Chain A
Amino acid sequence: DAGVIQSPRHEVTEMGQEVTLRCKPISGHNSLFWYRQTMMRGLELLIYFNNNVPIDDSGMPEDRFSAKMPNASFSTLKIQPSEPRDSAVYFCASSQVDTQYFGPGTRLTVL
Chain B
Amino acid sequence: DAKTTQPPSMDCAEGRAANLPCNHSTISGNEYVYWYRQIHSQGPQYIIHGLKNNETNEMASLIITEDRKSSTLILPHATLRDTAVYYCIVRVATGNQFYFGTGTSLTVIP
- A interface residue numbers (CB < 8 A to B): 4, 31, 33, 42-45, 48, 50, 55-56, 91, 93, 95, 98-105
Interface size bracket, B side: 10 to 19
Kindly identify which residue among A4, A55, A103 contacts B95, using a CB–CB cutoff of 8 Å: A55
A102 and B96 contact, Cβ closer than 8 Å, known pairs A42-B101, A42-B102: no
Residue contact A45 to B96, C-beta cutoff 8 Å:
no
- CB within 8 Å for A103 and B96 given contacts A42-B102, A98-B32, A98-B49: no
* Distance in angstroms between the alpha carbons of A72 and B26 in the assembled complex: 35
Shortest Cβ gap from B50 to chain A (Å): 12
New A-B contacts (17) at CB < 8 Å, excluding given A4-B43, A42-B100, A43-B44: A33-B97, A33-B98, A42-B101, A43-B87, A45-B98, A45-B99, A48-B97, A93-B44, A98-B49, A98-B91, A98-B96, A99-B46, A100-B46, A100-B98, A101-B46, A104-B42, A105-B41
Q: Which of B34, B41, B46, B97 is within 8 Å of A45, CB to CB?
A: B97
Contact assessment for A91 and B100 in the assembled complex, using a CB-CB cutoff below 8 Å: no
